[in-house]
Amino acid sequence: WNEDEDERLRCAVATFGGKSWPRAAAAVGTKTATQCMQRWRRALQPDMRKGRWRDEEDALLLDLMTRGHDSWSEFARHIPGRSAKQCRERWRHHLDPAVSRARFTPAEDAVVVAMQAARGNAWARIAARLPGRTENTVKTRWTA
């Protein structure tokens, strides 16, 4: 996406009210209806919050998780300005109590080194062998 396409999408949403993505795509001219919808919802929507999460947002996400909700889209509907992807990543990388935030042990480092040599940069597979570690933390550990 470039600035010109973003501006055409903003104008299309202002005109069509964000209800006709095929028309928005026609107005943009270089993107599909799905691409336009995703760009709007994930990046351009004015009420979309970016950056640091507030304590109240974290508390709400934790509360929703304890109530047994199972849809990231459902979470996003309860947390104004946050997308399903933002909610999922906040949980997986910062709030999930099953994720270890401790330093990697020498034994964990050995698993990372051995599996990376055998499987390459298959971070999800490597993380699956390390309880409490996410693919993101394993990748960060490898590149650090």
Q: What span, in angstroms and rounded, lies between the C-alpha atoms of 111 and 88?
A: 27
Distance CA 71, CA 67 (A): 12
Domain edges within the chain: 3-44, 55-95, 106-143
pLDDT tens, 103-143? Answer: 999 999 999 999 999 999 999 999 999 999 999 999 999 99
CB of 86 within 8 A of CB of 73?
no
Long-range CB pairs of 36-39, under 8 A, 24+ apart, other chains included: 36/9, 36/12, 39/1, 39/6, 39/9
Q: pLDDT tens-digit profile of 20-73? A: 999 999 999 999 999 999 999 888 988 788 889 999 999 999 999 998 877 898
Give the pLDDT of residue 90: 94
Q: Hey, which CATH number is domain 106-143, 1.10.287, 2.60.220, 2.60.120, 1.10.10?
A: 1.10.10
Better-predicted residue by pLDDT, 19 or 99: 99
pLDDT for residue 19 is more than 80 = yes
Greater confidence (5 vs 19) lies with 5
Average pLDDT, the chain: 93
CB 22 within 8 A of CB 31: no
Q: Output the six-digit token pair for 14.
A: 């202002």
Contact 127, 133 (CB under 8 A): yes
When pLDDT is cut at 50, 70 and 90, the band that residue 11 belongs to is: very high
- pLDDT value of position 97: 92
Query: Which one, of 84, 121, 74, 127, lies nearest residue 104 by Cα?
Result: 127
Q: Is the pLDDT of residue 102 over 90?
A: yes
Fold of the 55-95 domain: Arc Repressor Mutant, subunit A (1.10.10)
Candidates 111, 137, 106; CA nearest to 124 is 137
The answer to pTM > 0.75 is no
